[in-house]
Amino acid sequence: MKDTKPTLIIISPGFARNEQDSTCLPAQQVLIKTLNKNYPELQIIILAIEFPFHHSTYQWYGNTVIGFNAWKKSKLKKIRILLDIWRTLKKLQQQHTIIGVLNFWCNYCALIGKYFAKSHRLIHYSWILGQDAKKDNRYIRWIKPTPDELIALSDFAAATFYKNHQVLPRYVIPFGIDPSLFSNEDHSRDIDILGAGSLIPLKQYDIFIRLIGELTKTFPTIKTIICGKGPDKEKLQALIVKSGVEKNVSLLGERPHEEVLQLMQRTKIFLHPSLYEGFGVVCTEALYAGAHVISFCKPMNDAIHNWHIVKNEKDMLQKAVHLLQNDHLEHVAVMPYSTDDCSKKLMALFNYHTNIIVQSTTTEYVSQY
């Protein structure tokens, strides 16, 4: 017998392997928990295509996750997995009352989502979350998305996608902040500068370390931390030694999401030297934790309080010096976007609880909170 409860299908390259895994796509985890809170009658089924690295079905905080383990499989095995995904979607369609399909990232996962939704006359959106807006996304020519099918994480992601693929996403919905994840206690700001993210070339943590080397000339006891794991770890550790900042920079490795938020609440400046960023949710988390943020990438057209955008490494150094020398630097919680608003605007696009008003024009986005 078909389940009459409304069901949203989410297709993603990956998802948390269990309820203890807080580091895998934390923003998506927060969003889904918020959807659970705001729409308790809504069922969510997540298809995790590449990871975790096992083919299984499991429960994650009451949500069903179906993993396909397609990571680094041969072309033949991937074709078999794609057929398995299609069969799984057809089975879900027969068993559940599906209100729509949402893709995290506009990539080959979106190719599956779009054409399945089209064949069953379901609402479908692809959420452009970062590097999928780049020119080298070869799947766009096969997906052939229309503006009405696209959500961008930021104004920057929307503009980048338009520049590279000549399609302007009609909607922009940034991930929001869940205040309940942060402590209400007063924290001493004993960490001068914090960084958090994958240790990969794109994130440019070599710039972070070079800047600390320069800052020690003015602030010899400066205390900084980098949280994250990745292939650049040994290279960065060697650069720390070469720069003589072993006492100033700590590589903590990957830490639970909750612990990173706690570190943010002890931080004066959150430094994000990434070369490219769809939004950088970690930056809005740092803002709500009371830290000032310095980055190269400007996600939204409108300025965000305490988020300082710089053009180059020299400007980043000057801004850090200016902030650290300010004895009266304010540390207030800044929340430009809430996860509650994010969830409501998202579900409005699926015509779910249609009392939520969504307005749009060719250049106006849902991001106008």
Residue 78 pLDDT greater than 80, yes or no: no
361 found inside a domain? no
Total domains present in the chain? 2
pTM: 0.91
330 found inside a domain? no
What torsion do the CA atoms of 136, 138, 140, 144 make, to the nearest 10 degrees? 140
162 found inside a domain? yes
122 with 8, same domain: the answer is: yes
- pLDDT digit string (tens) for 148-165? 999 999 999 999 999 999
What torsion do the CA atoms of 285, 287, 289, 291 make, to the nearest 10 degrees? 130
User: Comparing C-alpha atoms, which of 231, 237, 238 is closest to residue 203?
Assistant: 231
Dist CA 116 CA 165 (whole Å): 23
User: Comparing C-alpha atoms, which of 367, 345, 365 is closest to residue 355?
Assistant: 345
Domain at 218, CATH number: 3.40.50.2000
Dist CA 42 CA 36 (whole Å): 7
88 with 103, same domain: the answer is: yes
366 found inside a domain? no
357 found inside a domain? no
Task: Give the DSSP letter of residue 180.
Answer: G
117 with 130, same domain: the answer is: yes
Dist CA 273 CA 257 (whole Å): 20
pLDDT at 76: 77
58 with 110, same domain: the answer is: yes
203 with 171, same domain: the answer is: no
334 found inside a domain? no
Sign of CA pseudo-dihedral 14, 62, 45, 123: negative
- pLDDT digit string (tens) for 220-274? 999 999 999 999 999 999 999 999 999 999 999 999 999 999 999 999 999 999 9
Range 192-210 average pLDDT: 97
Which domain, by its residues, includes 109?
Answer: 3-176+339-349
